[in-house]
């Protein structure tokens, strides 16, 4: 640790206070009130997205009104999924907090963003793991949180400077995510206008089909008619990976977020020998479509250039299209459409792990318009989709950069002067 850095117990730097569950018999609601409620499931990013939050009913809030968070507080998950960290921003000032989290408030001698980056770093996560108790359900007691070791520059300004470097990267990542959300909404709206509402074709003749009334001349086909390969991955046996150098990315459902972006940091790696021999049938190529068929079912993604020649497990189906440029956009947004998602959810087989068969996926029906209309749609939507993929690739690069810098800056291994030089 550099000479001008100090080590503290977290309890010396702020107050640790628990959250509160709703009174027995009461429930959260999706209708917005003045009292958003933060759950562990809402965490996972620096700030908390408000789109999927649930709310405390106005008449219930007075019973838990003492258990709120304020701007610049940090929250830390302490039960089940332990170690998720977020910073409270102005949008969630005075929000209510679950009993499965604590807030770190009234900070002194430490910048809140510096503390956030310390806690999400490998160093901070190691400290958190040391304090976990229980095996059936992991828990991080408040006593152990108070005793977490935190090392930091004695100068608040130096702390802020370290945090500003890392937050600038996160700001760009979040901006790309926001842009992609808007782009995806635009593209999906266009898809629905053309292929659900048939807006541009209302003046033409319609005929009955297996999928209802469709423009005359259009055909109903199965997904398998459009693909070159539709298969799923395999998990390698331990004996096939033991003792071998691992360098091929191996994708799982958990690596794909709800927006379809793949987090390439922290991916499991498998040996190239296993990849080329035992798992050669599931080698992924750039522009393959991924569809999750087990666990969290229905997530859709596209393999980017960074993951060309990667591999995946059996919970992911991969779809390699015959004519990618013509069909990629329409099939990508079709797979994400409410119609397909509902059909998939209704086809789930419950077992040890919920799953959907490849046969169900292959036999999903969609409508194919004329070649002219397909090309016209592709010309309009492909540029939007390519921009989405470009932003995803940039986020993957930025995330790698942040995760490389984080431990070096937080530990003092790289000093700000050296970094700027």
Residue-wise pLDDT for 137-159, tens only, equals: 899 999 999 999 999 999 999 99
**Angstrom distance (rounded) from CA 128 to CA 132:** 7
Its pTM stands at: 0.84
Specify the DSSP class assigned to residue 6. Answer: E
CA dihedral 131, 137, 141, 145 (to 10 degrees): 40
Domain extents in the chain: 5-153, 176-399
Segment 270-308, tens digit of pLDDT: 999 999 988 999 999 999 999 999 989 999 999 988 899
Q: Which tokens hold the place of 285?
A: 């190529």
**Angstrom distance (rounded) from CA 69 to CA 93:** 6
β-pair partners for 102: 18, 76
> Over 80: is that where the pLDDT of 416 sits?
no
Using a pLDDT cut of 70, give the percent of the chain over it.
98
Contact status, residue 275 vs residue 295, Cβ threshold 8 Å: no
* Phi and psi angles of residue 115, each rounded to the nearest 5 degrees, phi first: -60, -40
**Angstrom distance (rounded) from CA 287 to CA 306:** 11
Q: How confident is the model at residue 419 (pLDDT cuts 50, 70, 90)?
A: low
- Select from 174, 128, 123 the least CA-distant residue to 152: 123
> Over 70: is that where the pLDDT of 344 sits?
yes
Task: Answer yes or no: same fold for 5-153 and 176-399.
Answer: yes
202 Cβ contact partners less than 8 Å away, ≥ 6 residues apart: none
**Angstrom distance (rounded) from CA 367 to CA 217:** 10
Segment 2-19, tens digit of pLDDT: 788 999 999 999 999 999
β-pair partners for 246: 271
> Over 80: is that where the pLDDT of 135 sits?
no
Report H helices in 236-337: 272-277, 324-336
Segment 163-220, tens digit of pLDDT: 999 999 999 999 999 999 999 999 999 999 999 999 999 999 999 999 999 999 999 9
Q: Residue 87: what pLDDT?
A: 97
- Which residue's entry shows tokens 């999750």? 292
Q: Residue 420: what pLDDT?
A: 55
- Helix or strand or coil: residue 95? coil
| CATH for 176-399, options being 1.10.10.10, 3.60.20.10, 3.90.220.20, 3.40.50.720 | 3.90.220.20
Distances from the Cα of 295 to the Cα of 1, 109, 196, 315, 374, angstroms: 43, 44, 29, 7, 33
Q: Decide: residue 282, CB within 10 A, 0-12 exposed, 13-18 middle, 19+ buried.
A: buried
**Angstrom distance (rounded) from CA 32 to CA 365:** 37
Segment 93-118, tens digit of pLDDT: 999 999 999 999 999 999 999 999 99
Q: Residue 14: what pLDDT?
A: 97
CA dihedral 414, 415, 419, 421 (to 10 degrees): -130
> Over 60: is that where the pLDDT of 39 sits?
yes
168 Cβ contact partners less than 8 Å away, ≥ 6 residues apart: none
* CATH code 3.90.220.20 for 5-153: yes
């Amino acid at each position: 640790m550099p000479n001008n850095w100090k080590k503290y117990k977290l309890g010396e730097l702020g107050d640790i206070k628990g959250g509160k569950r709703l009174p027995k018999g009461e429930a959260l609601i999706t209708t917005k009130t003045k009292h958003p409620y933060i759950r562990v499931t809402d965490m996972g990013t620096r700030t908390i997205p408000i789109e999927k939050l649930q709310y405390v009913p106005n008449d219930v809030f007075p019973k838990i009104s003492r258990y709120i968070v304020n701007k610049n507080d940090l929250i830390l998950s302490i039960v089940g999924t332990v170690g998720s960290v977020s910073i409270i921003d102005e949008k969630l000032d005075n929000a209510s907090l679950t009993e499965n989290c604590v807030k770190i408030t009234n900070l002194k001698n430490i910048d809140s963003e510096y503390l956030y980056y310390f806690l999400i770093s490998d160093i901070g996560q190691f400290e958190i793991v040391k304090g976990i108790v229980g095996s059936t359900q992991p828990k991080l007691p408040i006593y152990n949180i108070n005793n977490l070791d935190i090392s930091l520059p004695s100068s608040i300004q130096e702390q802020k400077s370290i945090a500003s470097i890392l937050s600038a990267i996160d700001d760009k990542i979040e901006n790309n995510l926001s842009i992609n959300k808007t782009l995806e909404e635009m593209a999906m709206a266009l898809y629905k206008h053309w292929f659900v509402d048939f807006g541009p074709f209302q003046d033409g003749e319609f005929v009955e089909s297996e999928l209802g009334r469709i423009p005359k001349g259009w055909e109903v086909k199965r997904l398998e008619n459009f693909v070159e390969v539709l298969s799923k991955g395999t998990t390698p046996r331990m004996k096939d990976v033991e003792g071998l150098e691992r360098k091929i990315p191996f994708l799982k459902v958990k690596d794909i977020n709800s927006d379809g972006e793949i987090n390439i940091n922290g991916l499991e790696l498998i040996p190239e020998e296993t990849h080329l021999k035992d798992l050669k049938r599931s080698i992924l190529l750039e522009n393959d479509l991924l569809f999750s068929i087990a666990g969290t079912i229905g997530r859709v993604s596209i393999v980017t250039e960074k993951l060309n020649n990667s591999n995946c497990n059996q919970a992911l189906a991969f779809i390699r299209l015959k004519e990618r440029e013509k069909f990629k956009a329409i099939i990508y947004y079709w797979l994400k459409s409410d119609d397909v998602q509902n059909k998939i959810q209704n086809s789930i087989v419950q077992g040890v792990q919920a799953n959907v068969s490849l046969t169900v996926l292959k036999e999903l029906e969609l409508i194919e318009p004329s070649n002219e209309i397909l090309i016209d749609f592709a010309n309009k939507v492909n540029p939007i989709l390519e921009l989405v993929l470009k932003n995803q690739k940039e986020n993957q690069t930025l995330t790698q950069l942040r995760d490389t810098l984080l431990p070096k800056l937080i530990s003092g291994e790289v000093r700000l002067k050296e970094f700027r030089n």
